[in-house]
Structure 1
Amino acid sequence: MTETFTLLIISATFFLAGSVKGIIGLGLPTVSLGLLTATLDLTTAMALLLIPSFITNIWQAAVGGNAKIIFMRIWPFLCLATITIWLGSTALKIVNPLYLSVLLGVLLIAYAFLNLLGFSLSIRPYNEKWMGLLLGTANGMLTGMTGSFVVPSVMFLQAIGLPRDMFVQAMGMLFSLSTIGLAFSLQKLEFLTPELASISALAVIPSLIGMVLGQRIRKSLSENRFKKIFFISIFILGLFIIGKSAFALKM
Structure 2
Amino acid sequence: MIPDLPWLLFAVALLTGGLVKGALGVGLPLVAVPLLSLGMPPHLAIALLVVPVLASNFWQAVEGGRLVPSLQRFGGLIAAQFLATVLTVRMTLALSASQLSAMLAGAVLLAVALMAWKPTLQISASRERAVGVGVGLLSGLLGGVSSLTGPVIITYLMALRLRRDEFVGSISIIYLSAALPLYGAMLLFGRLGPTELTGSLLALVPMAAGLLAGKALRQHLDDNRFRRVLLVFLIVLAILLLLK
Structures share a fold, TM > 0.5? Answer: yes
Check the 8 A contact 1:108/1:235 in 2, yes or no.
no
C-alpha separation in 2, matches of 1:199 and 1:223: 36
Query: Bigger shift: 96-105 or 131-140?
Result: 96-105
Q: Which residue of 1 aligns with 2:53?
A: 53
Runs of 4+ in structure 1 deviating by more than 4 angstroms, as ranges, are: none
Q: Residue by residue, what CA displacement relative to the aligned partner does 1:164-209 show, whole Å, maximum 9, x if unpaired? A: 2111110110111112121012123321121001110111121111
Query: Bigger shift: 88-97 or 213-222?
Result: 88-97
Q: What's the offset of the Cα at 1:69?
A: 1.8
Map 1:95-134; keep pairs closer than 5 Å: 96-115=99-118, 120-134=120-134
Q: Which residue of 1 aligns with 2:37?
A: 37
Q: Which residue of 1 aligns with 2:237?
A: 237
Check the 8 A contact 2:163/2:223 in 1, yes or no.
no
C-alpha separation in 2, matches of 1:176 and 1:193: 20
Query: Bigger shift: 30-39 or 90-99?
Result: 90-99
Q: Which residue of 2 aligns with 1:20?
A: 20
Unaligned runs of 5+ residues in structure 1 are 245-251
Query: Bigger shift: 20-29 or 86-95?
Result: 86-95
Q: What's the offset of the Cα at 1:94?
A: 5.1
> Please, what TM-score do these two structures have when normalized by structure 1?
0.87
Q: Kindly tell me: are residues 166 and 67 of structure 1, through their superposed partners in 2, closer, same or farther at Cα, counting changes over 3 Å? A: same
| Secondary structure of the structure 2 residue equivalent to 1:197 | helix
C-alpha separation in 1, matches of 2:149 and 2:76: 16
C-alpha separation in 2, matches of 1:102 and 1:185: 22
Q: Which residue of 2 aligns with 1:200?
A: 200
Query: Bigger shift: 184-193 or 165-174?
Result: 184-193
Calculate the aligned-residue CA RMSD, in Å.
2.1
Q: What's the offset of the Cα at 1:114?
A: 4.4
Check the 8 A contact 1:122/1:161 in 2, yes or no.
yes
C-alpha separation in 2, matches of 1:130 and 1:221: 31
Check the 8 A contact 2:58/2:172 in 1, yes or no.
yes
Unaligned runs of 5+ residues in structure 2 are none
Query: Bigger shift: 8-17 or 98-107?
Result: 98-107
